[in-house]
Amino acid sequence: MSCLMFVLVDPALIRSAEDTQKQITCIGKVVDEQGRPVAGAKVRLYKLILFMETLSFEVELAQTTTSKDDGTFRFKTGAEESDAKNQTIILVDKKGMALGWVNWFLSRDLDVQIILGLSRKLAGHVVDASGKPVSDAEVRISAMLITKENGPRYIAGKISEALFACKTNAEGKFTLERIPAEATAEFIIKKPGLATVSTLRNTQEMKLQFQAGQEDIEITLPIEAKIEGRVIEKETGRAIPGIKLITFQGERQPFSGQEPVTSGEDGAFTITALCEGKQMVKAVPQGEGIAEWIAPPVEVEVEAGKTLTGVKVELSRGGLLELFVTELDDNAPISGATVSIKNTVSNEQFRDVSDEEGKVRKRLAPGEYQVAYVHKQDYPNERRAETFTIEDGKTSRVEVQLKGYPKVSGTVRDENGLPVAGARMKVCPWGQGETTSDSEGRFEMRRDAPNRAPSVVPYVVARHFERNLAATVEIGEDQEVVDVNMTAGVTCAGKVVDVDGKPIENAKVYLTFWSSGYGSSMAHQENTTDAEGHYEIKAVPQHHKYSVNAGADGFGQDYVHISTEDVEDNHFEVESIALAPANLSISGIVVDSEGKPVDNVRISGQGRGQPFRRTQTDRDGRFTLENVCAGKMRITASSTGTQRLSGNIETVGGATDVRIAISERSSAGRYPPKRPPSLVGQSLPDLKAFGVDLSPGDIEGKRLLVCFWDMEQRPSRHCLTQLAQQGESLKSKGVVVVIVQASKVEQKALDEWVKKYNVPFLIGMVEGDAEKTCFAWGVRSLPWLILTNREHTVEANGFSLAELDERI
């Protein structure tokens, strides 16, 4: 999530369109702190749908069940393609015990244990601006977070009023109970006549400010400010009824607590319960499909106890974007891809998901935009830079192409040659997710690109825990089909102890598979130690190297390396893993190059034997990492504001005077240069510098189309082959095409490529400083098209190949 947007890009595990109806299963177990099963617990599955326009979640109770006598429960549901719909929360509720939950992304099966641990309260009181108690105010948890070594778990939105909301009493006091001891939280507080307050301030870090057990929370509700205005059509001034409006205070904040209001028949609207200060009033698109209207946000300043009148929200039709997401190899449409678009002037971002035709259609206000990124599981996560312009009443067409990771498929069989259903499958290292073999033993997965590191040997790793079967099969460079024959797996047994050799109960233990110097977590099966500190890890493939990793609440984490090369009787005894107590803290300050404290800096700490810890600096630049061990720890500080700063230091547990100086990163190419100027409206510069000599007779009365490209980039190569197919058509339309290779390459290699793909155009190449040349020509990304009129004045640039016919 950036981060408290809670779009956890496990950002976003999405499957292809043909998998959208696939059934996936969550098999869970509810236990107490001692690992004993909890029977009769209510287990609820909530689906969350994120609305980017309002930065809020719609929460739907999808399924309910009860844990059995052995603590187990099961949910079955359909896999979701879109990351806007695939987030869920499984909430466990057992009277007298702390709440427990886990996040499940509806793209793969889940096998999970939910511990109902120590219970704490969150309590405090609500006062008005004069400090007097506010009774009968609604206090609701808007977000709750547990950050542990095995990943964050979050609650967001209106999950359960009975469990996560209460009213203040006559003294303004409130109490919320059964909060997990390790949780942090934020609130939304409402009372008619007063401003609605959201305590969430920082949206960049995974940190919430109120810790479970805190009972002295004080929240002030000031007198409300109001806004009155009208929604009108920009061109005619006529009133527009039925338009939903939302407000954000200052920057767009998630979980603001403000409910949308709707304009009346005369276009009038009233927004109440606002906090004093800058507010952004925004029209919210309604329903699915393309919005009928578009409007830029209206920024206003409001005062407590006063009503700001005369606010106008002006709607227009704007222009349409048609963005096509397709496969690079065959132009097949890609559905379910998440597309992020940014206005290059206001930096306002819009997000949508491609439909079954690979299309995103969206109404936008006139202006210049950029495709910030396109994300789809099974495809490399690439930042994009396609720039396009939206004009009133026109449609802008943009094509974005993705190349998927290679597929690996096959069948899993046992020693008798029979198919094995339910085997957990993974490509190691660098596999793209996991899968489970079906009833006929078949599987299909994605692997990383084979040329990522040619020296790395990838394997298909198969494990069946119930039958204790395991296998690994090496994957050839271009191999697409792999058949897996499973045999008896190795059982690794060991013990987790403290530094005095005493057993640690409920320590979490998992396996890491090592190949070619790279580790792959096999944490889909997390093992927990018993009262004597013992654990077993089953279905471990033979003849490989592993590490066994262990960690426990109140302790650090550590590992030991093992090899199953010479195992006898399929049993391996692992040496004991000793964990140090995490009973110390590290505190200090973060300063800039001038020695001034810096707030809101991300702090993370890690080291051998240490738990992973993170926090952020307060307004005075100070930080504290709690619950660390004695010994070395490297602390990293990084700021992600307008100026990116970072620094690190090595210290030890218990240190109280740590000072970290952060400065601007020097990573070349990470930050964009000054935006190049546009050539639109100017005469086309001379092409002779690229080795292209056009005589006046060749181009008189003809349009010029210049394409900057890079032979070493796939999108550029694809663009040029597509353009070459239009050679005769362009010539008949009086268009002269010039291709400019935007970086220095071997002339022979360039000539061979041009010949191979029958490119019929004049070819030039940038000589000297390629970056400076491209900047001077206004090139912002590759490929880059520039089109002139018949007088050779630039009419358009930076458009997609799909728009070429319309431009001509």
pLDDT in tens, 719-739: 888 899 999 999 999 999 999
In the structure, what pLDDT confidence band is assigned to residue 2 with cuts at 50, 70 and 90? Answer: very low
Residue 670 inside a domain? The answer is: no
Domain boundary among 298, 315, 332: 315
Gyration radius from the chain CA atoms: 30
pLDDT at 525 over 80: no
| Amino acid 44: pLDDT | 96
pLDDT at 455 over 80: no
Residue 7 inside a domain? The answer is: no
What end-to-end distance do the CA atoms of the chain give, in Å? 43
What CATH number did the domain enclosing 81 receive? Answer: 2.60.40.1120
- In this structure, the answer to whether residues 97 and 148 fall within a common structural domain is no
Structural domain span for residue 480: 407-488
Assigned token pair, 38:
């909890």
Q: If you average pLDDT over residues 64-83, what whole number do you get?
A: 86
At which residue do the structure tokens 């728009």 appear? 803
| Amino acid 197: pLDDT | 93
pLDDT, the chain, mean: 86
Structural domain count of the chain: 8
pLDDT in tens, 376-427: 877 876 667 788 999 999 999 999 998 888 889 999 999 999 999 999 999 9
In the structure, what pLDDT confidence band is assigned to residue 82 with cuts at 50, 70 and 90? Answer: low
Residue 681 inside a domain? The answer is: no
Kindly report which listed range (31-35, 105-109, 431-435) carries the lowest average pLDDT score. 431-435
- In this structure, the answer to whether residues 437 and 381 fall within a common structural domain is no
Distance CA 587, CA 591 (A): 14
Distance CA 99, CA 115 (A): 9
CA distances from 458 to 432, 469, 475, 501, 565 (A): 12, 20, 6, 38, 18
| Amino acid 600: pLDDT | 77
Q: Which of 55-64, 163-172, 279-288, 639-648 has the highest mean pLDDT?
A: 163-172
The percentage of the chain sitting over the pLDDT mark of 70, rounded to a whole number, equals: 89
- In this structure, the answer to whether residues 97 and 127 fall within a common structural domain is no
- Buried b / exposed e across 545-578, counting CB within 10 Å, b at 16+? ebbbbbbbbebbbbbeebebeebeebebebeebb
Distance CA 767, CA 689 (A): 8
CA distances from 546 to 22, 433, 523, 535, 648 (A): 33, 19, 12, 16, 30
What CATH number did the domain enclosing 709 receive? Answer: 3.40.30.10
- In this structure, the answer to whether residues 692 and 803 fall within a common structural domain is yes
Helix, strand and coil content of the chain, in percent to the nearest 5, comes to 5, 50, 45
**Taking Cα atoms as reference points, which of 449, 429, 432 lies closest to residue 328?**
449
What CATH number did the domain enclosing 354 receive? Answer: 2.60.40.10
In 592-702, at which residue ranges do the beta strands (DSSP E only) sit? 602-606, 613-616, 622-628, 632-640, 644-652, 658-661, 663-664
Residue 578 inside a domain? The answer is: no
At which residue do the structure tokens 């959201």 appear? 198
- In this structure, the answer to whether residues 448 and 381 fall within a common structural domain is no
Residue 161 sits at φ, ψ, to 5 deg, of -60, -35
Residue 45 inside a domain? The answer is: yes
- In this structure, the answer to whether residues 484 and 494 fall within a common structural domain is no
| Host H or E run for residue 728 | helix 727-732
pLDDT at 436 over 70: yes
